[in-house]
Homo-oligomer: A and B are copies of this chain.
């Protein structure tokens, strides 16, 4: 399961995708519309900014906005930025790989099964982008 934090991040990104090209969006606006605790949201947006997916403007007329077009940011990338691995076990993770110290990848049945599962998941998440997170009433 994705953590609350990751879910909030995806919701916020979806909202920013809907507002893409319309200037900065207030944290408080995102917080209200997406029902995300504002202080928690602040830290999430900051993290996404540091990950170079968002930028912000301070002061009046400020807020957050996407750096790139929503179509250019895949869900896989977004999830990895805040939520970590997509794979179900570390030894089949592409971006957060960790060697399994107690089993041999060449013969491990679990490894194989999880690898296939990861491929199926990734096939979806690398194709879908933030533009698909836009709610149909926004």
Interfacial residues, chain A to chain B (CB-CB below 8 A): 1-2, 7, 10-11, 14, 34-35, 75, 84-85, 87-90, 102-104, 106-110, 112-113, 116-117, 120-121, 123-125, 128, 132-137
Contact = CB atoms under 8 A, between A and B. Distances in A.
A101 B103 CA distance: 42
A7 B112 CA distance: 13
A136 B134 CA distance: 45
B10 A110 contact: yes
Contacts of A85: 1
Contacts of A124: 116-117, 120
Given A2-B88, A34-B102, A88-B2, A134 B121 contact: no
A89 B79 CA distance: 12
Contact of A135 (B11, B90, B108, B116): B108
Contacts of A35: 102-103
A14 to B, nearest CB: 5
B110 A121 contact: no
Contacts of A103: 11, 35, 135
Contacts of A34: 102
Contacts of A106: 136
Most buried by B among A1, A7, A108, A121: A1
